[in-house]
Amino acid sequence: MDSIFVNSKNVFLDTVNVKDYIQLDRVSTIYQSLKDSIKKPLKMILLYGKPGTGKSMFLTKLYSDLSEENNIYLYQTPILDENEFYKTLAQDIFNIKYNDELNFTQFMKIVKDKKTKQTPIILLDEAQLYSEALMEKIRLLSDTRSIKFIITLHKTEKEDLIAKEHFKTRIWETIELVNASNSELKIYIQKKLMKANCFDTANMFSTKTVNKIYKLTKGNYRDTNKLLYTLFDIYITYEQSSHIYPFNTTHIPNKFVEMAAIHTGLINA
């Protein structure tokens, strides 16, 4: 049988799985706002925030929730080649397979000629990786109202293409995701563990311990996951040597959190 620390460690694997979605009040409100936006006659919806704030999880959950009743497609990995981008859309949306090249003009003709019962919804993750030329053509596609785009973008200090004037007039809905607050982080950690039936380790996270974690991660979900994955890895090591180094399983020592933070680069050793 796996130890409680092995099971708890696996809870914080850095993966995007809709089963791992944790419902927090503020996050649920934002997610509902995103779902409501899809019902509006919007041409493009922008979901943005710093890395690790849950944008990919939102898109994955949105796809999972809406795929049965909507004409919706999720592209988690950007298709950077324009030709491949149009060919993929043509096959997925219109069931048209191209072996030869397919350019923008040809694809626009397909969009004009081929009507669908429902407006296709395209979910594009990591939109900051697309070229300026391709993003401009995605904008033109959205202008036709034949395809609706929901895109995610990292929020940076620099001006992004998506924030330029010609995009501001076309993105009718923008939704920002932010890091968890201190209190939300405790709920997030404990809910993730309890969802996996790791009740004993969930109870180890006191307010004091979470405050320490929050100070290190600023409430960033990805950084928190990495930190706790490493923290439970440390517990596993100590557990295997418990006959030599006895340790407490009722609360988490600061030194364990600090050791995990050093290992993940949140503290400079």
pLDDT at 175: 87
Is 38 within 8 Å of 66 (Cβ atoms)?
yes
User: Structural domain boundaries of the chain?
Assistant: 4-13+180-264, 25-177
Q: Using CA atoms, how far apart are residues 172 and 150, in angstroms rounded to an integer?
A: 11
Is 86 within 8 Å of 105 (Cβ atoms)?
no
Q: For the residues of 105-149, what is the DSSP string, one character each?
A: HHHHHHHHH---SS--EEEES-GGGS-HHHHHHHHHHHHTTSSEE
Domain 25-177 in CATH 3.40.50.300: yes
Residue 29 predicted with pLDDT over 70: yes
pLDDT tens sequence across 69-128: 889 999 999 999 999 999 999 999 999 998 899 999 999 999 999 888 889 999 999 998
Read off the pLDDT of each residue in 172-181 and give the average, rounded to a whole number: 88
CB atoms within 10 A of CB 73: 17
